[in-house]
Amino acid sequence: MAQALYRKYRPKRLEDVLGQDMNMEILKNAAKAGRIGHAYIFYGARGTGKTTTARLIAKLLNCEKRRNDPAFAALGEPCNECRECLAVDAQNSMDVIEIDAASNRGIDEIRNLKESIRTAPATGAYKVYIIDEAHMLTGAAFNALLKTLEEPPAHAVIVMATTEFEKLPPTITSRAQRFTFRKQPKAVIMAKLEAIAKEEGIAIEPAALELIAAIGEGSFRDAESLLEQVSSFGTPGSRSSKARTVTLADAERITGRTGLRKVHAFAELLIAKDLKGALAYLAEISDEGHNLVQFTKDLIHYLRKTLSLSVNPSLEESFEKDLTRDELAAMKALAAMKGADSATLVLLIKALIRAYAEMRYSPFAAVPLEVMLVEQLS
């Protein structure tokens, strides 16, 4: 069985973790000084590197070359060659215990942790406990974890990863070092996707990669998984046939999402108050099999950015992280259109939000959007 792309290209060193420079610098400096903490909380959006970083900490603590070579230890990175590093990468290290709190959330699991954490490491110097989705633990489980988290054995480190930091009790968060993992801009994700596509020999249009990066919504893992799915469309069915280039249209059909060009074209029709054109374009998108609920969500975000840009042009620098130059130029042109005043855009966005809320729970997804178009453009 082929290894998933997001696993194959998972960062193996702290410096390979993209978009989290401050966090990685702090952890690297701690590793150089031999001052890695006893407890950490990593929180932020999915697919931003929380669990990966927890495993890197496990490698830093147990790396044999770091233990035996002070000069190498001063680099603050694992060697990725010794038995312990390779075991962590293969996810079969006896001293790295990963707990999925979503399915092991009760007090019994934490009691088992308290018992096992006392025993010495099997092969390495440290035992590292990684508690994923930590916010799912019960109140009783959190209470049982308190003392262990505050004073774990000298040979143990606990790392908790969560997407919902606010659900962790203050008694837990105050006992650990906290690191925020931020969503990544489309440009950063697209750069990694381009590197993977080149390494894997995946023939795919830049516009298709751009759509995949946008769909990832700040998550490397989501984008890499989607790239793998889309790339299969261009894989030849037999050895004798040639691989074909995956186009934007292919990516749109596979994902059910539309590129920004379609969103921009529809936004132009809205601002021009072209009701017939808007209804015809909507029917075309629907016939192509695109998800209208997601299309409406994308349209809301697009008009929101257009409104922000028209009110505050200095935001252009911020939007450059998520938009290409051509997309930014198109958005600026849209903001400059006759009828794209702030009041009109606000009314359109509010109407679209209402339509989106109704579409999510309606068996006729297109109807609320069509009604909104008639009400706003007539």
Query: Are 360 and 347 part of one and the same domain?
Result: yes
φ, ψ dihedrals at 349, nearest 5°: -65, -45
Residue 247 has what DSSP assignment?
A: P
What is d(CA 302, CA 352) in angstroms, rounded to the nearest whole number?
12
Chosen domain end from 229, 255, 281: 255
CB 348 within 8 A of CB 334: no
Instruction: Report the number of distinct structural domains present in the chain.
Output: 3
Same domain, 177 and 277: no
The CATH number linked to 264 is: 1.20.272.10
> What pLDDT sits at residue 352?
96
Q: Measured in whole angstroms, how far is the alpha carbon of residue 62 from the centre of its chain?
A: 28
Strand pairing report for 177-181 and 156-162: unpaired
Provide the residue type at 70 as one letter: P
Question: What CATH number does residue 138 fall under?
Answer: 3.40.50.300
Residues 268 and 139 in one domain: no
Alpha-carbon torsion (15, 17, 22, 28), positive or negative:
negative
What digits encode the pLDDT tens for the residues 208-217?
998 899 888 8
For position 1, what pLDDT does the model report?
59
Question: Quick one: 202 and 174 in the same domain?
Answer: no
β-partners of residue 204 are 246
Residue range 278-287, pLDDT digits in tens? 999 999 998 8
Sequence-distant (6+) residues with CB within 8 A of 58 are 88, 93, 95, 96, 126, 128, 130, 157
- 272: how many CB neighbours lie within 10 A of its CB? 15
247 & 320 share domain:
no
Three-state secondary structure call for residue 348 = helix
Strands 177-181, 96-100: pairing kind = unpaired
- The answer on 275 and 166 residing in a single domain is no
pLDDT at residue 240 in the model: 45
| Host domain of residue 198 | 186-255
CATH code of the domain in which 215 resides: 1.10.8.60
Token pair 């539309």 is found at 258
Q: What is the pLDDT along the chain (378 residues), one digit of tens a residue?
A: 568 888 899 999 999 999 899 999 999 999 999 999 999 999 999 999 999 999 999 999 999 999 999 999 999 999 999 999 999 999 999 999 999 998 888 888 888 898 899 999 999 999 999 999 999 999 989 998 998 888 889 999 999 999 999 999 999 999 999 999 998 888 889 999 999 999 998 889 998 998 899 888 889 999 999 999 988 876 654 444 456 788 888 888 888 777 888 999 999 999 999 999 999 999 999 888 888 999 999 999 999 999 998 898 888 888 877 787 788 888 989 988 888 899 999 999 999 999 999 998 888 889 999 999 999 998
pTM across the whole model: 0.81
Residue pair 95/127 in contact by the 8 Å Cβ criterion = yes
